[in-house]
Amino acid sequence: MSRKPFVGANWKCSLESLGEVDKLLEQLETAFAPADAPDIKDELDVCVFPPYVFLERVRRRLSSGFLVGSQNAWDAVAGYKCTGVTTAKMLKELGCHWVMLGHSDRRNTLGETDALLAEKVGMCLEAGLSVNLTMGETKEQRDSGKALDTLILQLSTVVPSVAKDAWGRIALAYEPVWAIGEGAQPCDPEEAQRIHAALRAWIRDNVGAEAADACRILYTGSVNEDNASKYGALPDVDGFIVGRAGLDSKKFISICETLLESKKAGSS
């Protein structure tokens, strides 16, 4: 395993009360701390992405092996003191390790552009955060044969914001927009591998071999405890971002264990 596998739980805004948050945190601690097993978090980066308002609580209550990430950061105009903004520096100060940028909820529903995301990526890296950059094509873009072109545009716009030695702090998440959420069909694993390999090859050709080897590429879209092994076995899939299954501690640990087993089997 040249790259450390990564699994992130994107809570979106599914939990809205402190009681719900505390309950899930307790369940995660129990699920990830079996007395008779080595700590899976030593071999796998496990990160939870709560909403801003719960970050402090999650960071304080979860044991130190878990990573904590923000679902967003906002630094629209550098140096401008903007109302209602949470900056990358604030997130770093709070003890966050990761920040998720570019989820389709923010690109397609809230209109975040590649140029804005490029700016945010640069600021987050500069503040010392690692960046989970989510990118993906819509159904229309896929149906018109533009899936890869769309992804390369999303990626290439952000590349100037990433220093050559910072690619180890980037985890791209391939998120076919048509594959996320209730009722969606996950992307066929072979197709996910084809896309991940193409993205890695693009980074190799346009940034360099070290960057391509260091950068993790995650799959996101209807990952669950039953299909995780199919993706985990793929050489260019370094882990997952999970939505719904990340709200259930038993499903979440099962996905983490399955990924790790698949990666170990693949490297032996």
The residues annotated with a catalytic role in the active site are: 103, 175
Q: Please, what is the minimum distance in Å from the beta carbon of residue 6 to ligand PGA?
A: 14
User: What's the rounded Cα separation, in Å, for the pair 175 and 12?
Assistant: 15
Residues ≥6 apart with Cβ < 8 Å to 181: 222, 243, 244
Angle (CA) 164 168 171, round 5°: 110
Helix (H, G, I), strand (E, B) or coil at 243: coil
Q: Please, what is the minimum distance in Å from the beta carbon of residue 236 to ligand PGA?
A: 19
Q: Which is nearer to ligand PGA, 87 or 132 (CB)?
A: 132
Nearest residue to ligand PGA, using CB?
Answer: 243
Q: Please, what is the minimum distance in Å from the beta carbon of residue 27 to ligand PGA?
A: 18
The H or E element that residue 122 is part of is helix 114-126
Q: Which is nearer to ligand PGA, 7 or 215 (CB)?
A: 7
User: What's the rounded Cα separation, in Å, for the pair 264 and 266?
Assistant: 5
Q: Please, what is the minimum distance in Å from the beta carbon of residue 184 to ligand PGA?
A: 6
Helix (H, G, I), strand (E, B) or coil at 127: coil
Q: Which is nearer to ligand PGA, 57 or 244 (CB)?
A: 244
User: What's the rounded Cα separation, in Å, for the pair 20 and 12?
Assistant: 14
Residues that bind ligand PGA (CB under 6 A): 10, 180-181, 220-223, 241-244
Q: Which is nearer to ligand PGA, 10 or 130 (CB)?
A: 10
